[in-house]
Amino acid sequence: MRALRITGPGRPLEAADLPRPSPGPGEVLIDVVAAGICHSDAHYRAGRPLPRLVPVTPGHEIAGVVSDVGEGVDAGLIGARVAVHYVVACRACSRCLDEAEQFCTAYGMVGNTRDGGYADAVVVPAANAVPVPDGVDLGHAAVMMCSTATSYHALRRGRLKAGETVAVFGVGGLGMSAVQLARILGAERVLAVDRDPGRLEIAEALGATPIVANGAGIIDEVDVALDLVGAPAVTEAGLRALAPRGRLVLVGITQETLTVSPYQAIVGPEREILGCNDHTLAEVGDLMAWAEAGTLDLAPVITGEVPLDVGAVNAALDRLDSHGPGIRTLIRPA
């Protein structure tokens, strides 16, 4: 079986020929039809941070067809179209029972603590195989499992209510989904903030008001702001944009220090700064329903496809590292 592997920090992915895996008890084997190339994979390749399992096959945005099942799994699943919820959890601890499986005491992650979707096939727990409706493209379903689901979780963390205003800072893979989801959830106005004119044009077509970052556009009186970039300057801009009692949700990752004036920025106007980490299995079901209904369209997010080829995939990761053109690239193994 073909697979692309992370073998150490700062090294290009390496091609490998691995034995085709067999599902264990409670697991399913999925023939990969599409795998999204996420910016997190570029971070893992660079060692920022290194995956917990090395060498490892990365890839946590996965969709395909079940080709085998392990002991205790209904054989009727063979042939089913599924996408992979990448958070591997015990489903029994207090956090899992509180629909917070991303904080499970036995947390694992497909493509990090176990092999992921940059391969011809992948084994995952059967509970992580999410049915994909016939009308939903498997490529769209793959992307939905990370960028779209995380954007949805961020909006829920921000407690977005119908009629409110949302500002989305950074309209890449997560941001394009966030624009659509904010509309679905009833936002009256959605502001898309980015430096890339092409991305702003797509966001405008999806219903957002485009604003050039660091330009002359005024961003204020926002109820919910999403920082999908992870740079202190963007976080500060999001905080300044908030109305009294507004909520800033941090999603983008940075190791830099943020400095704010607590009274002026937070205490006085009663603003909130919230973190967002991953998403939950329950949230994915909402996304599938909206995609099936045609309310959520991931086509504008997918701007490229590559084969399961080490050179092509490394080049796609290089583009992410350099903030090059495009939004989401899919690997199509077949």
Residue 254, pLDDT above cutoff 90: no
Cα torsion for 251, 254, 255, 260, to the nearest 10°? -70
**With pLDDT > 70 as the criterion, what percentage of the chain qualifies?**
99
Strand partners, 194: 212
Over residues 247-258, the mean pLDDT reads 90
Say if CB 197 and CB 224 are below 8 A apart: no
Q: What is the pLDDT of residue 152?
A: 98
Question: Which stretch of 79-88, 107-116, 250-259 has the lowest confidence by average pLDDT?
Answer: 250-259
Confidence label for 214 from pLDDT (cuts 50, 70 and 90): confident
Largest CA distance in the chain: 61
Give the β-pairing of 189-194 and 209-212: parallel
Domains of the chain (ranges, CATH numbers): 2-137+298-332 (3.90.180.10), 151-275 (3.40.50.720)
Rounded (5°) CA angle 124-128-131: 115
DSSP state of 231: -
Give the model confidence (pLDDT) of 311-332 as tens digits: 999 999 999 999 888 899 999 9
| Number of helical (H) and strand (E) elements in the chain, helices listed first | 9, 17
Q: What is the pTM of this model?
A: 0.95
Confidence label for 290 from pLDDT (cuts 50, 70 and 90): very high
Q: What is the pLDDT of residue 334?
A: 85
DSSP state of 110: B
Confidence label for 255 from pLDDT (cuts 50, 70 and 90): confident
Say if CB 40 and CB 93 are below 8 A apart: no
Which of residues 137 and 48 earns the better pLDDT score?
137
> How far, rounded to the nearest angstrom, does the alpha carbon of residue 113 sit from its chain's CA centroid?
17
Give the model confidence (pLDDT) of 128-150 as tens digits: 999 999 999 999 999 999 999 99
Residue 11, pLDDT above cutoff 70: yes
Say if CB 83 and CB 35 are below 8 A apart: no
Confidence label for 258 from pLDDT (cuts 50, 70 and 90): confident
Cis amide linkage into residue 12, ω under 30° from 0: no
**With pLDDT > 90 as the criterion, what percentage of the chain qualifies?**
92
Integer Cα distance of 221 and 170 in angstroms: 18
Give the model confidence (pLDDT) of 49-74 as tens digits: 999 999 999 999 999 999 999 999 99
DSSP state of 145: I
Residue 253, pLDDT above cutoff 90: no
Residue 217, pLDDT above cutoff 70: no
Cα torsion for 193, 197, 200, 202, to the nearest 10°? -160
Residue 296, pLDDT above cutoff 90: yes
Give the β-pairing of 222-227 and 242-250: parallel
Q: What is the DSSP string of 236-249?
A: HHHHHHEEEEEEEE
Find tokens 């946590």 and name the residue.
60
Per-chain mean pLDDT for the chain = 96
- Two structure tokens written together for 176: 């394009």
Residue 298, pLDDT above cutoff 90: yes
Find tokens 């995956």 and name the residue.
51
